[in-house]
Chain A
């Protein structure tokens, strides 16, 4: 009688253990899936943060350089504000003619050089 009870208990415990084992395996898989998702999210956040830093640095540089171009332009045009070109040209046309032609060449060469740098970006 006692043996039958013992066998019964063993069978019940075996079935229970089997159920728990299967459940445990399921949880292990679920945990692995969560770990994958966690790792992916961490990597994504890391990539976004890295991209954000890069973008911010580039944008700051872009704004600084744009400001410098504005200043450079204002500096060139300030020459006309500081000097009465009509008066100077009337009094010394030869001198102004030389300067006007030299400056035109300089500005055009500068524009050519700038466009060359942009065109060569992909070959760097």
Chain B
């Protein structure tokens, strides 16, 4: 009789506890974001520009450079002036002579007015600005798609 009671109590306890005494497996949660690796394209090679030679020509007479002091090696106008050009020789004369020398006696050149030179300068500055701003866009996209150190932006040089 006593044994029956003990068995009954144990059975009831087991049922009431809902098997909570049995161990449960713990679920380990690991969240790992998958990062997309965007392959950076090969960037174009840098520019290699050649400088043209500008001639500024007018009918102003050429003023000869001052002679250099042999001791100080510095120009001293008190010593007189060089005598490279004939009297009344102008910048236009010199230019024509230079062109003749370059082209075997022929006078041939591409001319540009001062206003057009200003336009060319404007266009060059526009191109420079465009290249720089486009470069900054490349830097921007690189920085937001690459998880490494910040890329150095293009330096800005502003003259005083």
Please report A residues at the B interface, Cβ cutoff 8 Å: 3, 6, 10, 13-14, 16-18, 20-21, 24, 28-29, 32, 35-36, 39-40, 43-44, 47, 51, 54-55, 58-59, 61-62, 65-66, 68-73, 75-77, 80, 85-86, 89-94, 96-97, 100-101, 104-105, 107-108, 110-122, 124
Pair A118/B115 contact, Cβ less than 8 Å: no
Smallest Cβ-Cβ distance to A51: which chain B residue: B144
Smallest Cβ-Cβ distance to B65: which chain A residue: A94
Bound: A110/B42 CA distance, A: 22
Provide the main secondary structure of the chain A interface: helix
Measured as residues with beta carbon below 8 angstroms from the partner, the interface class of chain B is 35 or more
Smallest Cβ-Cβ distance to A44: which chain B residue: B33
Pair A114/B44 contact, Cβ less than 8 Å: no
The 9 A-B residue pairs with the shortest CB-CB distance in the complex, in nearest-first order: A97-B56, A116-B46, A32-B27, A115-B47, A17-B15, A86-B114, A13-B15, A118-B135, A115-B46
Please give, as numbers and ranges, the residues of chain A lying within 8 Å of B78 by CB-CB distance: none
Bound: A94/B18 CA distance, A: 104
